[in-house]
Chains A and B, each alone.
Chain A
Amino acid sequence: MWDRNQMAERAAQELQDGWCVNLGIGIPTLVSNYIPEGIEVTLQSENGMLGMGPFPISGEEDADLINAGKQTITELPQTAYFDSAESFGMIRGGKIAMAILGAMEVTENGDLANWMIPGKLVKGMGGAMDLVAGVGRVVVVMDHTNKHGVSKLLKECTLPLTGKSVVDRIITNLGVLDVVEGGLKIVEIADGVSEGELRAATEATIVK
Chain B
Amino acid sequence: MKKVYGSAAEALEGVLFDGMFIASGGFGLCGIPELLLEAIKVAGTKELTFASNNAGVDDFGIGILLQTKQVKKMISSYVGENAEFMRQYLSGELELEFNPQGTLAERMRAGGCGIPGFYTKTGVGTVIADGKDHKDFNGETYIMEEGIVADLAIVKAWKADATGNLVFRKTARNFNPPAAMCGKICIVEVEEIVETGSLDPDAIHLPGIYVHRIFQGDHEKRIEQRTVREA
A172 at the interface (CB under 8 A from B): no
Residues of A within 8 A of B30 (CB): 47, 63-64, 66, 70
A residues 29-73 near B (Cβ < 8 Å) are 45-49, 54-58, 60-67, 69-73
Residues of A within 8 A of B108 (CB): 85
Complex-state Cα separation, A128 to B28, whole angstroms = 16
A203 at the interface (CB under 8 A from B): no
Residues of A within 8 A of B223 (CB): 61, 63, 66, 72
Given A92-B122, A130-B122, A162-B126, A49 and B226 contact (CB-CB distance below 8 Å): no
Interface string of B47-84 (1 = CB under 8 A from A): 00000010000000000000000000000111111000
A129 at the interface (CB under 8 A from B): yes
- Do residues A125 and B229 form an inter-chain contact, with CB atoms below 8 A? no
Choose among B28, B86, B123, B226 the residue that contacts A129 (Cβ–Cβ < 8 A): B123
- Do residues A64 and B170 form an inter-chain contact, with CB atoms below 8 A? yes
Complex-state Cα separation, A162 to B170, whole angstroms = 29
B residues 74-121 near A (Cβ < 8 Å) are 76-81, 86, 98, 100-106, 108-109, 120-121
Residues of B within 8 A of A66 (CB): 27-28, 30, 171, 223-225
- Do residues A87 and B105 form an inter-chain contact, with CB atoms below 8 A? yes
CB of B88 to closest CB in A, whole Å: 13
| B interface SS class | loop
- Do residues A163 and B126 form an inter-chain contact, with CB atoms below 8 A? yes
A76 at the interface (CB under 8 A from B): no
Residues of B within 8 A of A69 (CB): 225
Complex-state Cα separation, A165 to B158, whole angstroms = 42
Residues of B within 8 A of A46 (CB): 101-102
A182 at the interface (CB under 8 A from B): no
Complex-state Cα separation, A73 to B105, whole angstroms = 23
- Do residues B76 and A124 form an inter-chain contact, with CB atoms below 8 A? yes
CB of A130 to closest CB in B, whole Å: 3
A127 at the interface (CB under 8 A from B): yes
B135 at the interface (CB under 8 A from A): no
Residue of A nearest to B128 (CB): A129
Choose among B76, B102, B127, B231 the residue that contacts A88 (Cβ–Cβ < 8 A): B102
| A interface SS class | loop
Choose among B77, B123, B228 the residue that contacts A126 (Cβ–Cβ < 8 A): B77
- Do residues A54 and B229 form an inter-chain contact, with CB atoms below 8 A? yes
B177 at the interface (CB under 8 A from A): yes
Tell me how many residues of A have a C-beta within 8 Å of chain B: 53
Complex-state Cα separation, A182 to B168, whole angstroms = 49
A137 at the interface (CB under 8 A from B): no
Complex-state Cα separation, A60 to B228, whole angstroms = 9
Residues of B within 8 A of A92 (CB): 102, 106, 120-122
Interface string of A82-115 (1 = CB under 8 A from B): 1111011101100000000000000000010000
Choose among B77, B98, B171, B231 the residue that contacts A64 (Cβ–Cβ < 8 A): B171
- Do residues B174 and A47 form an inter-chain contact, with CB atoms below 8 A? yes
Q: Which residues does A use to contact B, with CB under 8 Å?
A: 45-49, 54-58, 60-67, 69-73, 75, 81-85, 87-89, 91-92, 111, 121-130, 133-134, 160-165
A-B contact pairs, 26 of them (CB 8 A): A45-B171, A47-B30, A57-B229, A58-B231, A61-B223, A61-B227, A61-B228, A62-B170, A63-B223, A64-B30, A64-B31, A64-B170, A70-B225, A75-B170, A83-B168, A83-B178, A84-B174, A88-B101, A88-B105, A89-B106, A92-B102, A125-B101, A127-B102, A129-B126, A133-B124, A134-B102
- State the 4 A-B residue pairs at the shortest beta-carbon distance, nearest first: A88-B102, A164-B125, A123-B80, A130-B102
